[in-house]
Structure 1
Amino acid sequence: MMINLVYILAGYLLGSLSSAIITCRLMGLPDPRSGGSGNPGATNVLRIGGKKAAAITLAGDMLKGLLPVLAVKALGADVTIQSAVAVAAFLGHLYPVFFGFRGGKGVATVLGVLLGLYWPVGLLTIASWLVIAKGFKISSLAALIAILLTPLYVLWLKPEEPVLLVAVIFMGTLLFWRHRSNIRNLLRGEESGINKDGNDLQDQD
């Protein structure tokens, strides 16, 4: 029991390492919480620091979801503990203890988590995001629809693991909550689309 709690705490602490803030500090860029939209995510880092900084941030956000899940899986943890660590890492990104509990919106981290938990589900979610983003040219809409489809992918590919389904639904609910401003903009027809360079003007990570 104690070692499982250590795994979960470690997942949360790793998730709390804000890739956006750390990347901006190392590259001498403005703090993403005080520049651009104020959101510590890859989209805002793109806005204030360019593509290289944004790519590093995106990779960091995915890895901090992927690595703790792969680590506990390698250590022999069952799917319940894997799911708990996944949720903890995701919560760390949203509410990082090291940065005043002010985190990003969670898209990249949840994708990393899904790849760690069961990579076919993660790949289907990423593929859904890509197809919807290409069709509608709105990144936040693509993310929301993709995460809405994810429980269906779990039911299809892993119906024997209800704890995995619960974890996915929980993270999806939080992701929707964190995107409530994007949802309001979508309902009003005011959400910015992906421009010709492939960048979305509205934060969704």
Structure 2
Amino acid sequence: MPVMETTTALLILWAVIGYLLGSIPFGLIITRAMGLGDVRAIGSGNIGATNVLRTGSKAAAIATLLLDAGKAIAAVILARILAAEDAAQIAGAAAFAGHCYPIWLRFRGGKGVATILGLLIALSWPVGLAACATWLAAAFAFRYSSLAALLAAGFAPLYSLLFGDGRIVLLSLVLALILYARHAPNIARLRAGTEPRIGRK
């Protein structure tokens, strides 16, 4: 955990700012703007990049991936510049929560994969890049986005220890557990052999 430097009132403020940033449903906005329909009505019904890819538009999926990661990065950087490291962690975690449970969509959001990767990059770039590399290697090897996400998030606390960044071990562990819970249906499908592979419409 980082040194607690920010007052409780300001931490609450940064939690609200982070949540509002994270709750922007870029996948839904992008697919509608590109005339691809409502992404919630196709595939898994998720608003994340993997489901956006099922519209057939790689450009939309890449844009969603970058923006979903970017909103966590923005939350962390803004809080770090204007407050302190404890506020940056709070804002980043709140952005992740906002993506998963956006108020604008009745708390039915994405699973947080891109957002947690962006958050890790912003908090500790060696940990974030290692997690991204894990996702890419697993996605290339197994062709399952969900499995890649589970492995990347699961290894993040270990990477935090490996790179000596103890201040984010607890946060990365908690977020990984939430991400695993969000992927419970995917885990069941992986075990049953019915999970769709990357690129399948």
| Counterpart mapping for 1:51-70 below 5 A | 51-70=58-77
Shift of 1:23: 1.0
Letter in 1 for 2:172: V
Residue 31 (str. 1) matches residue 38 (str. 2) = yes
TM-score by length of 2: 0.90
Shift in alpha-carbon separation, 1:158–1:191, aligned structure 2, 3 A: same
Please list the CA deviations of residues 141-170 of structure 1 after superposition, one character each: whole Å capped at 9, or x if unmatched: 121111111100111223542xx2111111
Paired residue secondary structure (1:48)? coil
The aligned residue for residue 24 of structure 2 is 17
Shift of 1:186: 1.2
> Which residue, 164, 172, 178 being the options, matches 2:176?
172
Aligned 8 A contact 1:15 1:88 in 2: yes
- Structure 1 vs Structure 2: percent identity of aligned residues? 44
Q: Extract structure 1 runs of 4+ deviating beyond 6 A.
A: none
In 1, distance between residues paired with 2:54 and 2:166?
43
Paired residue secondary structure (2:156)? helix
User: What is the root-mean-square deviation in Å for CA atoms of aligned residues?
Assistant: 1.6
| Counterpart mapping for 1:56-205 below 5 A | 56-78=63-85, 80-161=86-167, 164-194=168-198, 199=199
Shift of 1:182: 0.9
Aligned 8 A contact 1:43 1:200 in 2: no
Aligned 8 A contact 2:54 2:200 in 1: no
The aligned residue for residue 3 of structure 2 is none
Shift in alpha-carbon separation, 1:133–1:92, aligned structure 2, 3 A: same
Shift in alpha-carbon separation, 1:138–1:168, aligned structure 2, 3 A: same
Shift of 1:4: 2.4
Aligned 8 A contact 1:138 1:200 in 2: no
Aligned 8 A contact 1:128 1:146 in 2: yes
